[in-house]
């Protein structure tokens, strides 16, 4: 069934699923990983897409919350569910962190455009800031599935402290190299993740950069990519209310033409770095 948003005129495709929590693992003091079995076997999702998640039978938090698809769960070679990586920042994520195995959640998606992966790039950098690593795990696997050798992919992962550097095992098991930085120096080089990224671009320019993280980091990555003329895609995490183009809550300003806005939920969340005005 398709509805049309009265505000934007966009088609709103209804893709609500009842999801069963397969596991809820605490992976750091503020982060947890949810395994959800929710879709018809064989459903399609691409890296960079997200889902809107809501607790069932609760009036509060009223709105769904967006989360990137971190991994797909396969049964007999067919995708049957997905894995989310979540950080507690407010009431919605705090409530979600408490859900037990077997609980049902309402999940809308997969939504958004996802990363554009051609398979033609020979050298690729992924840049993850904190919880922004979530969509890059599935992206790493997608790149390898497209025939890119793991040794030609490097993940630059930054966080405030050691405990913010998540999913290292996922990338290591794919054979992807990791460059770590922390603000407090507790793991990897002390400082911003864009410092080793800049050195890498200057010494061995990659064909493509993909990034997800806080907006300050994305702005710095976008500036580097423009300055050194490296193609770059950014996954933007704005606040979202509906996820389907109906509420106008996720506007992002684009550089050309001036004063024009796009919706992160339906035009993104992945944008070319050149497009966005930070
Ligand atoms: C496309 C997309 C993908 C996302 N993927 C993930 C993911 O994989 N894992 C994950 O943990 N989070 C992800 N987020 C962010 C996540 O949706 C928010 O952290 C969550 O909605 C906060 O809900 P809350 O009720 O806990 O906090 P709220 O009570 O709604 O807010 C608490 C505080 O967090 C701020 N906040 C809320 N949303 C965001 C946001 N998007 N960015 C920055 N600050 C925010 C609020 O302004 C407020 O200060 C994603 C967001 C988007 C748009
Ligand atoms: S229009 Fe509602 S979240 Fe994008």
Looking at residues 23-43, what average pLDDT do you find?
A: 88
Which residues, listed in sequence order, are joined to residue 20 by a DSSP beta bridge? 37, 104
Any idea which of 10-19, 33-42, 189-198 has the lowest mean pLDDT? 10-19
128 shares its domain with 27: no
Instruction: Give distance in angstroms: CA of 93 to centre of ligand 1.
Output: 8
Q: Quick one: pLDDT at residue 16? A: 76
128 shares its domain with 231: yes
Atom of ligand 1 nearest to the CA of 112: 1
Supply 73's token pair: 């769960």
Which residues, listed in sequence order, are joined to residue 55 by a DSSP beta bridge? 105
51 shares its domain with 184: no
79 shares its domain with 167: no
State yes or no: cis peptide before 110, omega within 30 of 0.
Answer: yes
Looking at residues 69-85, what average pLDDT do you find?
A: 92
Q: Domain boundary residue among 111, 137, 160?
A: 111
Residue range(s) defining the domain that contains residue 99: 2-111
- Total domains in the chain come to 2
3-state secondary structure of 153: strand
Looking at residues 88-102, what average pLDDT do you find?
A: 94
Q: Domain boundary residue among 76, 111, 146?
A: 111
Instruction: Give distance in angstroms: CA of 8 to centre of ligand 1.
Output: 23
E strands, the chain, are 2-4, 11-13, 16-26, 31-37, 50-55, 65-68, 71-75, 78-87, 104-111, 124-129, 153-159, 177-182, 189-190, 208-212, 231-235, 251-254, 260-263, 270-272
40 contacts: CB under 8 Å, gap ≥ 6? none
């Amino acid at each position: 069934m398709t509805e049309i948003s009265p505000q934007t005129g966009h088609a709103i495709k209804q893709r609500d699923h009842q999801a069963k929590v397969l596991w809820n693992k605490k992976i750091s003091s503020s982060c947890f990983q949810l395994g959800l079995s929710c879709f018809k076997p064989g459903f399609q999702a691409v890296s960079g897409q997200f889902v809107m998640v809501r607790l069932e039978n609760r009036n509060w938090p009223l709105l769904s919350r967006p989360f990137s698809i971190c991994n797909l769960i396969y049964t007999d070679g067919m995708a049957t569910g997905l894995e989310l990586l979540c950080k507690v920042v407010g009431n919605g994520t705090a409530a979600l962190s408490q859900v037990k195995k077997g609980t049902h959640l309402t999940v809308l998606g997969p939504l958004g455009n996802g990363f554009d992966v051609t398979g033609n790039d020979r050298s690729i950098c992924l840049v993850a800031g904190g919880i922004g690593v979530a969509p890059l795990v599935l992206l790493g696997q997608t790149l390898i599935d497209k025939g890119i050798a793991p040794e030609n992919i490097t993940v630059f992962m930054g966080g405030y402290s050691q405990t913010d550097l998540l999913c290292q095992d996922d990338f290591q098991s794919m054979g992807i190299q990791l460059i770590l930085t922390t603000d407090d120096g507790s793991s990897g080089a002390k400082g911003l993740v864009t410092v080793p990224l800049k050195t890498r671009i200057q010494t061995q320019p990659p064909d493509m950069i993909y990034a997800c993280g806080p907006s300050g980091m994305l702005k710095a990555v976008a500036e580097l990519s423009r300055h050194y003329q490296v193609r770059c895609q950014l996954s933007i995490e704005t606040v979202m209310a509906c996820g389907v183009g109906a509420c106008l809550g996720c506007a992002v300003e684009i550089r050309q033409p001036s004063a024009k806005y796009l919706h992160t939920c339906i035009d993104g969340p992945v944008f070319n770095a050149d497009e966005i005005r930070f």
